[in-house]
Structure 1
Amino acid sequence: METVKRLISSGRGVVIFSKSSCCMCYTVKVLFHELGVSPIVHEIDQSPEGKEMEKALKRLGCKASSVVPAVFIGGILVGSTNEVMSLHLSGSLVPLIRPYRVLSGKHAQA
């Protein structure tokens, strides 16, 4: 549990816990990159502590059926794919990530 909390709080704003073979994780990572954010991604299936991290994410409020992707913005659990996409479609995601966007090219204007 402490490892997960440390990883969340030491991030640059957007932290994603993912599995390398998960298509929904890939979709969420691409979305953040398209919005100009370079999230810190922890591939729990490639970590020796992956099973413990998954248990810790469940204790932090991630749904048992969809532990990954687990997206944290500013140290706060946003949720998984459904929650992130709902925020994006409602126009609420960009204001949340604005402080963490890379200011270059097309992303500086949006």
Structure 2
Amino acid sequence: MTHVLKRLLLCVGVNPPVFEVDDNEEDEARRAGEEVQLPAVFIGGKLFGGLDRVMATHITGELVPILKQAGALWL
């Protein structure tokens, strides 16, 4: 799924940094009771959501304006 998100963001003109989380880190977060949704997308330093939210906002045409507003995209 990370590949899909990265490819989508590259196609709209964003070169996102990718931080890999290994299985042990993910398991630790789950054991601590944290809700973990990976891949997680941060826009403007804030958690935006996962694959579902990014795809939904892209389909509705809202993703590019959100990226522009956050300063992640210059068009």
- Alpha-carbon distance between aligned partners in 1 of 2:28 and 2:52, rounded to the nearest angstrom: 18
Which is strand-richer, 1 or 2? 1
Distance 1:38 1:30 in 2: 9
Which residues in structure 2 correspond to 1:1-110 (within 5 Å)? 24-45=1-22, 51=25, 55=29, 59=34, 63-64=35-36, 67-98=37-68, 99-101=71-73, 108=75
Mapped contact 1:44–1:53 kept (Cα < 8 A): no
Higher RCO (CA-CA < 8 Å; seq separation 6+): 1
Q: Which runs of 5+ in 2 are unaligned?
A: none
**Structure 1 spans left out of the alignment, 5+ residues:** 1-23
Q: Secondary structure at the match of 2:19?
A: strand
Pairwise CA RMSD: 2.6
List, as ranges, runs of 4+ consecutive aligned residues in structure 1 with deviation greater than 2 Å.
none
> Larger helix proportion, structure 1 or 2?
1
